[in-house]
Structure 1
Amino acid sequence: MSKYIIYPFIVGCGFFIYFLLWKFTTLSVVLLPSVSFFAFLPIVLYFEHKYPFKEEWNHNLGDFKADVITTLIILPVLTGAIEKIELYMNDSFLRFSWAEHFSFWHQFWIVFFTSEFLFYWYHRYSHKQKTLLKYHSVHHGAGRMYWANSGRFHFMDIIIQFIIYFIPIYLFKASVDVAAMLLMITAVTGTMEHANIRYSTIYLSYFFNTGELHHLHHSPDIKVCNKNFGKVTIIFDLIFGTYMKSEETRENLKPGLPFNKYMPVDLLGQLKFPFVNSKK
């Protein structure tokens, strides 16, 4: 398959599965993104095996167990809980009712761009603020790029990120369908940002934060790491001057923390990392 077709094909498969399940099953909207993602994952695994960006990134570094637990268990549970809390909080508290009268797609785009704007600035700030950086370092401590470290986060980082990302859903009284769609698009594109797949997106990388861009964000070089902060879209990096695309830098990439810092590969070690390193 042409490297130019791979990204839109895989992302398209993810949303085809989502809409197929939405149309022809009686699945709860809350469960729909998770079930769709599990059906989508084998496609990513196939392409990682068939068209790896780097063969060595498909080799287990002792990190696989912890990454799978955080990506497939901890992350969905925490984000689902946060979503429910923000959707069902008291309607009288700081909510703008005008958006609930809009169509699904009007609501979606309002929430999407507001969420991405808030996330961009939080993510950028988390690379500077010492306490937040200790939590976020768990994600950046991955020694390779592949599908399962898309959800490799410290639980505190997950909670803060997703509270911020879902604030617009709550504020604008967006429908649960909008929340489910937002969860699905973050899951699909987030997996593709980290996936060990060789593809080229050309113009799509001026809207989506693809692996060509996000892999650079995992560089131990601080100047490179402090680029490409977007979650789904890269638009705010383009606007605020933090966009970077360099195939040469990506080809030579060895992911990890700066200054040769070591991140444990086991889950308990990662959970303890921000606290045992609190004075370092």
Structure 2
Amino acid sequence: MNEPLFGAPEISLENLSTIEQSAPNLILWAVPVMLLFTALEMFITFKQEHPFYEKRETIGSILVGLGSLVVGASIKFALLYATVWLYNQLPWRMSLQWWTFIPCYIIFDFCSYWAHRVSHEQRFWWATHVVHHSGEHYNLTVSFRLSWIQNLKTIFFLPVALIGFHPVVFFTTNQVAVLFQFWVHTEYIRRLPKWVEFIFATPSNHRVHHGSQPKYIDRNFGATFIVWDRIFGTYQPEEEPPIYGITTNITQKANPFMINFHEVADIIRDVKAARGFRRKLFFIFGSPIKIAEEKQQKLNKEAVIAD
């Protein structure tokens, strides 16, 4: 007899190690494969003399990626505990059935779209994401540039957990979603068939997201499915080669601490200098683009006065 979908028994918090073992560590298993393809892309780039890699930036990406693995391993048990605890509070708990991965992944990706979009629209969240955009070259190592404080965005995925998916399904979904985003960070895969480009966040669609031209800024937030961007009006096709990087590119390109926390340091400085509570909130939660424009206008005025 098939196990009923809803009303699964609670998971004992004393047996979390069992759940941890049940959830495959896909990211750890995938690391050798990711490194192999990254090395292959580096080799081809070198042989073809393409400007897709820069030494200091590549070192920075690798160090940031290693730090992300350490942070993830350090807080994995705490996240697992919180997820299982929440799961136990729900009367509509789902049993562990493989096919629930499909609706879980779709809903997870929908939440990911909004988490990603908010991370571009509010500076506080942008500080947890700017790491990923700070590279001025587009290659597979960019997928390693995951902020060490990105787990703050776990709050955006609470709706997925509240639906009652089994913790093993939830954590497997999260890992597959992260791994999907590896292959889209390359210049070597150009346009795919139209139906693929219409549904998925392909390399072409994601290159647009990393572009710094006005037409490309804050576009194509979809992690796996680009259809969310088509639905909510944030889709932009790749029409010209993107110029990568952020408004003010960092100078210490190999320093993982600078890469991770330069925006946090800027927020602290801006808040200290701001007068009034409303202005302080603006520099914390305002639009990163508006804040950058305002600061640039101020610099321009100071330059005119100095002349």
| TM-score (normalised: structure 1) | 0.74
Q: Which residue of 2 aligns with 1:19?
A: none
The CA distance in 1 between the partners of 2:52 and 2:197, in whole Å, is: 22
The CA distance in 2 between the partners of 1:41 and 1:219, in whole Å, is: 25
The CA distance in 2 between the partners of 1:66 and 1:147, in whole Å, is: 13
- Give the one of 36, 50, 56 matched to 1:55: 50
- Give the one of 33, 40, 45 matched to 1:39: 33
Within the alignment, does 1:198 sit opposite 2:189 as a pair? yes
Deviations 1:204-234 (A, max 9, x none): 1222211101111111124312111011221
Within the alignment, does 1:115 sit opposite 2:119 as a pair? no
Partner amino acid for 1:112?
A: Y
Q: Which moved more, 1:143-152 or 1:94-103?
A: 94-103
Within the alignment, does 1:268 sit opposite 2:260 as a pair? no
The CA distance in 2 between the partners of 1:66 and 1:243, in whole Å, is: 30
**CA shift for structure 1 position 180:** 2.5
| TM-score (normalised: structure 2) | 0.68
From the superposition, tell whether residues 104 and 59 of structure 1 become closer, same or farther in structure 2 (CA, over 3 Å). same
Contact 1:44 1:195 in 2 (8 A): no
From the superposition, tell whether residues 28 and 49 of structure 1 become closer, same or farther in structure 2 (CA, over 3 Å). farther
Within the alignment, does 1:142 sit opposite 2:135 as a pair? yes
Deviations 1:76-127 (A, max 9, x none): 3434555543433375647545352363122x12221221111211211221
Within the alignment, does 1:131 sit opposite 2:120 as a pair? no
From the superposition, tell whether residues 153 and 76 of structure 1 become closer, same or farther in structure 2 (CA, over 3 Å). same
Contact 1:119 1:230 in 2 (8 A): yes
Structure of greater Rg? 2
Equivalent residue runs for 1:63-74 within 5 Å: 63-71=57-65, 73-74=66-67
Partner amino acid for 2:51?
A: E
From the superposition, tell whether residues 86 and 101 of structure 1 become closer, same or farther in structure 2 (CA, over 3 Å). same
From the superposition, tell whether residues 55 and 161 of structure 1 become closer, same or farther in structure 2 (CA, over 3 Å). farther
Partner amino acid for 2:266?
A: N
Q: Which residue of 2 aligns with 1:277?
A: 266
Contact 1:115 1:166 in 2 (8 A): no
**CA shift for structure 1 position 178:** 5.2
The CA distance in 2 between the partners of 1:149 and 1:136, in whole Å, is: 12
Contact 2:83 2:167 in 1 (8 A): no
The CA distance in 1 between the partners of 2:162 and 2:113, in whole Å, is: 19
Consecutive unaligned residues of structure 2, counting only runs of 5 or more, are: 1-20, 271-294, 296-307
Structure with greater contact order relative to length (CA < 8 Å, sep ≥ 6) = 1
The CA distance in 2 between the partners of 1:270 and 1:33, in whole Å, is: 22
Contact 1:79 1:162 in 2 (8 A): no
From the superposition, tell whether residues 54 and 127 of structure 1 become closer, same or farther in structure 2 (CA, over 3 Å). farther
**Paired residues, number:** 244
Contact 1:78 1:159 in 2 (8 A): no
Equivalent residue runs for 1:129-208 within 5 Å: 129-156=122-149, 158-165=150-157, 168-169=160-161, 171-177=163-169, 179-187=171-179, 189-202=180-193, 203-208=195-200
**CA shift for structure 1 position 48:** 5.7
Partner amino acid for 1:150?
A: S
Q: Which residue of 1 aligns with 2:276?
A: none
- Give the one of 185, 192, 206 matched to 1:214: 206
**CA shift for structure 1 position 273:** 0.4
User: What secondary structure, in the 3-state scheme, does the structure 2 residue paired with 1:277 have?
Assistant: helix
Contact 1:97 1:173 in 2 (8 A): no
The CA distance in 1 between the partners of 2:83 and 2:120, in whole Å, is: 33
Partner amino acid for 2:228?
A: F
